[in-house]
Structure 1
Amino acid sequence: MNLFLMYLPVFLLVFVRMSAFFVTAPFFSIRGVPNQFKIALAFIIAVISFQSLPIQGEIPMDLTFILYVMKEALVGVILGYICEMMFIAIQVAGGLMDMQMGLAMANVIDPKTGAYIPVTGNFKNILAVLYFFSIDGHHMLIRGVISSYQVIPVDIMWAAFGSENVMMTAVKTFQTMFTSAFMIAAPIVVALFLVDLSLGIIAKSVPQFNIFVVGLPIKLLAGFLLLIVVMPAFLLTLNGLFGNMFRALAEMMKSLGGSP
């Protein structure tokens, strides 16, 4: 009984970090996934992780335990959101493409957040999730959060949330997110800009040509054809995007753990 009471606070902290991670991590945070499944998965992985934790001291069940819980929740949320930002880059790219294709007003409901997102962004996001599963990315995410207990032990009261390394890692991840979004959207955006330029020249040369009636179908057709053409390049970009995601996750874990 004494052994159970001694390790119960540690297990609860492990469970808090794992649950917080699943709240913001890609795919696991989808609203369509039942909360019972998330809790059960977090509990099972917490049990597995608990067996290999580097615990050096006893964690008291007093008011200071609240600080431990807050720390674990923040660590889980930050690590999950760092990974989620790479999927947000795909939605940003879809918004840029829809704006050029004339589909900016045609939004659909995102099953992950319940918000309205661009059609192309939702389509590419679904492809990215399927590709993520095909390369066992969800397994690597789980292994990553399990390894975080080695870098950020649960028996320390606070993590280096306000350190310079954490801020620089967050800024670098934001930069990577927007850079990746522009890389994904650039081929279609540039090509459709050339289509707009051509239509403008035609409208200037032939005033009788009703550019507003003909221009939108031409841009839609060109946009869909370009989506098909650049699909192999999009999959190659996803490789780099997911690689950046796992590198950002590792860097953030080291930064939160206080490693230089």
Structure 2
Amino acid sequence: MGTDIERKQRDEQSSKDEDAITFGWDGVRVGFLTCLPVALGVGGYGIAFGVLANQAGLSVAEATLMSGVVLAGASQIVAIELWADPIPAATIVATVFAINLRYSLMGAALQPWFKQLSSRKVYGSLFFMADENWALTMRDLRSGSGRGAFLLGGGIAIWVFWVGATLVGAVAGGVVGDPTRYGTDFILVAVFVALAAELWEGRPSLVPWLVAFGTSLLAAQYLPGRWYILLGGLVAAGVEVIRYDR
């Protein structure tokens, strides 16, 4: 009985996912404004990255360019922490690859809505995808808004603050100091707790969430690097595929 109810809930969600998706300035505007508070917290990490990049020997231009092109805070900070002379290119590439593989799962989650958009709109939006605006976009699309440009608008807000904060950290890091002492590192934790509560769908969410949590803990304990980020999502996704097929 429980399985039938869960399958019915999934079918209802799938039908909602088929609603018409628009891509316009309204979606960009709403996404930008919604993500602004989160972008402020991202800015704190941007300053920290700028300070670390300066200490590692990157110029202001190099640090700013890296943030503008990569736009991946966790992997950028890890890459800078591994920076040395000579540069351990293979280690940096493998570590960053492991961290960023989670974006493949995040992008797949958007597929029910983004399949209605052109490749130019999809890939242009995905360039600006970060953990924060992805979570907010999932909440917005699940509400039935149909705003396909929400991800792009939120990503632009995060990009502006991330790149601008990197510049500040690289130029005036010695004056600003460690931004985490002001509590900015807790802002993103609080945001993700709130977003997790919004994405909770009741009993159907319990199994995949517990599987992802348990897998991540075990992987973090026994595997080097950041593979726990990807493995938690992959194992949970696999469990859901098996449960859905039944």
The answer, yes or no, to whether TM exceeds 0.5 is no
TM-score, length-scaled by structure 1: 0.28
Name the structure where helix makes up a greater proportion of residues: 2
